[in-house]
């Protein structure tokens, strides 16, 4: 509990703010949402850690502010949270000269109770989880029995099934060293706020601006949906200047089904990369893309070759000349080959659309006026998304017929 102070102001005007905290608790919104509500009530940046020092929640202005709080500087107050005289965590905040100690005691009591309510067994080390996921989704996954035994050592309960979630964050702002570890921590605490037994791994990625987290969520589809929603909320609250992608698998009823679930989550995440919406995408909602899962799993080189023969020349042209050939083909196919509808959707003159489609034919050898050409381009676009290739979209500065957008 907080140390007793000599000064205690009237808490009446502040009690209304407690409704947000108690509402978050009663709604089961999770520890991060409770701490954000507490930060608003107290008017201070907060960082909550558990007994082992793992950050459970943060409500601060920036990552630098979080680091400053964790460094326990002279202006930082570390308040030990206890339930029934047992320590459950530490809340760090900026020391304030003029504050209500009564209000602070009420807030910290609510936070401590919520931490105790959702507290799970001690977590396995990050290295152990990373190794487990690396082997699980590798070329030679272990047997059902081996997966079950390893999961038990990690404290991962697979008896009621599990769902795999692939969560990605892409930086649109400069990032610091250790950024991917922060993304993992944010994703894990969001998921565990909803489903406490979730584990999170950080595979290696070569994308300098992206971080990919693999989450294994014990339970059914409802549990996975709650975990995805909580992860997205935590991403949006803690990682400003980023875009996010989440894909989830179907339920793996037995441990031996987890490798299959991992492939499904990866495909869903890859397909979701091409959408502007950040809403989580379920494998069941990927439509015809599901038909390409065997190709992605068993012969990705063939899928890559098909992409190279159809869409890759358009992607290269777009990146070199800042054009929108790929977007134009996507929209043209979505509009059932109607040039006027494509132009209307892209806010572009129809003569420009015809010019771009002719350039598509020159680059790919595929004519959108033929059934075969449209089919191959459509499959090429699907192959691109299944492979997780995201193209940059330019401002349509190609030559020909004004090349620009109409007012």
pLDDT in tens, 83-118: 888 888 899 998 765 677 888 888 888 888 888 877
End-to-end CA distance of the chain: 62
Q: Of 236, 161, 247, 238, nearest to 212 (Cα)?
A: 247
Residues of the chain with pLDDT under 50: 1-13, 394-407
What pLDDT was estimated at residue 3? 45
What contacts 24+ positions apart, CB below 8 Å, involve 333-340? 333/368, 333/374, 333/377, 333/378, 333/381, 337/368, 337/374
What pLDDT was estimated at residue 402? 34
What pLDDT was estimated at residue 131? 92
Cα separation values, 351 from 347, 399, 407, Å: 12, 12, 15
What pLDDT was estimated at residue 84? 80
What pLDDT was estimated at residue 88? 87
pTM: 0.71
User: Tens digit of pLDDT for each residue in 380-398?
Assistant: 998 898 888 876 554 444 4
What pLDDT was estimated at residue 112? 87
Q: Of 150, 166, 115, nearest to 255 (Cα)?
A: 150
């Amino acid at each position: 509990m907080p140390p007793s102070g000599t000064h205690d102001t009237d808490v009446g005007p502040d009690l209304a703010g407690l409704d947000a905290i108690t509402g978050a608790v009663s709604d089961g919104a999770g520890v991060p949402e409770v701490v954000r509500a507490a930060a608003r009530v107290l008017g201070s940046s907060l960082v909550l850690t558990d007994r082992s020092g793992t950050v459970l929640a943060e409500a601060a202005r920036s990552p630098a502010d979080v680091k400053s709080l964790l460094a326990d500087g002279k202006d930082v107050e570390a308040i030990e949270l206890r339930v029934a005289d047992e320590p459950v965590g530490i809340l760090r905040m900026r020391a304030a000269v003029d504050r209500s100690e009564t209000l602070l005691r009420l807030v910290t009591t609510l936070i401590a109770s919520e931490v105790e309510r959702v507290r799970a067994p001690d977590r396995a080390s990050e290295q152990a989880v990373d190794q487990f996921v690396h082997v699980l989704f590798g070329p030679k996954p272990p047997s059902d029995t081996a997966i079950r035994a390893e999961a038990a050592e990690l404290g991962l309960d697979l008896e009621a099934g599990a769902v795999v979630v692939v969560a990605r964050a892409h930086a649109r702002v400069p990032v610091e060293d250790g950024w991917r570890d922060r993304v993992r921590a944010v994703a894990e605490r969001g998921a565990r706020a909803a489903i406490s037994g979730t584990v999170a791994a950080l595979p290696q990625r070569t994308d300098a601006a992206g971080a990919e987290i693999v989450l294994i969520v014990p339970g059914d589809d409802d549990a996975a949906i709650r975990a995805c929603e909580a992860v997205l909320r935590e991403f949006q609250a803690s990682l400003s200047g980023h875009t996010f992608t989440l894909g989830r698998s179907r339920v793996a009823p037995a441990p031996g089904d987890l490798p299959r679930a991992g492939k499904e989550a990866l495909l869903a995440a890859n397909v979701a990369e091409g959408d502007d919406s950040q809403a989580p995408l379920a494998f069941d909602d990927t439509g015809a893309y599901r038909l390409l899962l065997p190709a992605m799993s068993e012969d990705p080189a063939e899928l890559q070759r098909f992409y190279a023969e159809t869409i890759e020349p358009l992607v290269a042209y777009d990146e070199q000349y800042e054009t929108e050939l790929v977007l134009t083909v996507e929209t043209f196919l979505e509009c059932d080959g109607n040039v006027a509808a494509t132009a209307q959707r892209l806010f572009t003159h129809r003569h420009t659309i015809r010019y771009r489609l002719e350039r598509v034919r020159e680059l790919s050898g595929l004519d959108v006026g033929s059934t075969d050409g449209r089919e191959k381009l459509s499959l090429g676009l699907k192959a691109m998304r299944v492979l997780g290739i995201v193209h940059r979209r330019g401002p349509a500065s190609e030559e020909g017929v004004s090349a620009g957008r109409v007012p």
